[in-house]
Structure 1
């Protein structure tokens, strides 16, 4: 963020209006509201983790044990269990 002189960037009419409220001080003008990307959306991490989680759930349904999944994916038991529960819920809720 850099400092800019209002005289250099604002139309004179707007500068006069602003001077009615504040003079000789620094004011922050925020960016226009933008929809922020969710975690991992821009770099593809979210998709990679969703794919991994579906793979874990698929292996579990095919007979892999929790311990085998822990060894395969280097995750904690709690993480594996949460992935299985959440993925099962998504699959169940997505079914027509």
Structure 2
């Protein structure tokens, strides 16, 4: 669980007052500046790119969308989005 820090203890008063113009009494998350891109730690981004490339390759070789949904356990809408995204490049 993330530990919460009181903004008054770590930020200058002027900055706290500026933030309060936008957020009053709510929790505010400030991400790390060195945050890694989604999927870069696990490799899932590359896995999905490879999967999507395989879907497009199979579609272009004549496999219909219904068959692709069965092979990849995805909805027709998701298969369409993957294919149309590739075709629009």
* SS of residue paired to 1:69: helix
CA distance in 1, matches of 2:75, 2:31: 41
Following superposition, the deviation at residue 37 of structure 1 comes to 1.6
Query: Which of the two has higher C-alpha Rg?
Result: 1
Following superposition, the deviation at residue 32 of structure 1 comes to 6.9
What are the ranges of 5 or more consecutive residues in structure 1 without an aligned counterpart? Answer: 4-25, 91-96
Count of aligned residue pairs for this structure pair = 67
Following superposition, the deviation at residue 33 of structure 1 comes to 2.9
**Cα RMSD for the two superposed structures:** 2.4
TM-score (norm 1): 0.59
What are the ranges of 5 or more consecutive residues in structure 2 without an aligned counterpart? Answer: 12-29
TM-score (norm 2): 0.63
